[in-house]
Structures are given as C-alpha cells and as structure tokens.
Amino acid sequence: MKKLKANQLGPWCSFCAPKTERAVYRENGFASTFACSEHKSDLAQHEKREAEQEQRLTEADYQTWMRV
C-alpha cells in the first residue's frame, strides 16, 4: 500500500459510497483499488487476499511445474 502524494488528486475511495470521499492510499503495483484514511485497513486486507490467491497453484501449474 502506498500513500498518494500531496500534488496528486486521488481518485475516489473504492470502499465508500460512490463519489463521496477522495482516496489517500492505493494498492501496490497496478492500482485498481484505492482507499481513504478510514478504509486503510480494508485496503490492507484486500492486498493480503490477493497475495494469498496468487500463491495458490492451479491444477495446470501443478502438472506443469511440480513434475519438473
């Protein structure tokens, strides 16, 4: 999670009602999820879920890479 710079006009918070609160934080990497200061913990949980999902091996991954 990264904090947006002061000169960046942040997009809207992904967790608040549409167009009510400007974002202060963005997720790492290609940012598609943004959060205001109230939803910082929700953004952290979102990043954690995405990292856990990325670690799982699919059946195709298992058949390809575990036999090597």
pLDDT in tens, 32-60: 899 999 999 999 999 999 888 888 888 88
On the question of pLDDT at 68 being above 70, the answer is no
- Which H helix or E strand runs over 10? none
What is the per-residue DSSP string for 11-59? -B-SSSSTTSSB--EE-SSS---EE-GGGHHHHHHHHHHHHHHHHSPPH
Q: Looking at the DSSP assignment, which residues form a beta bridge with residue 11?
A: none
Half-sphere exposure of 46 (CA within 13 A, CB side): 17
Whether the model pTM is above 0.75:
no
Q: Hey, what are 46's tokens?
A: 């979102």
Whether 64 has a pLDDT exceeding 90, the answer reads no
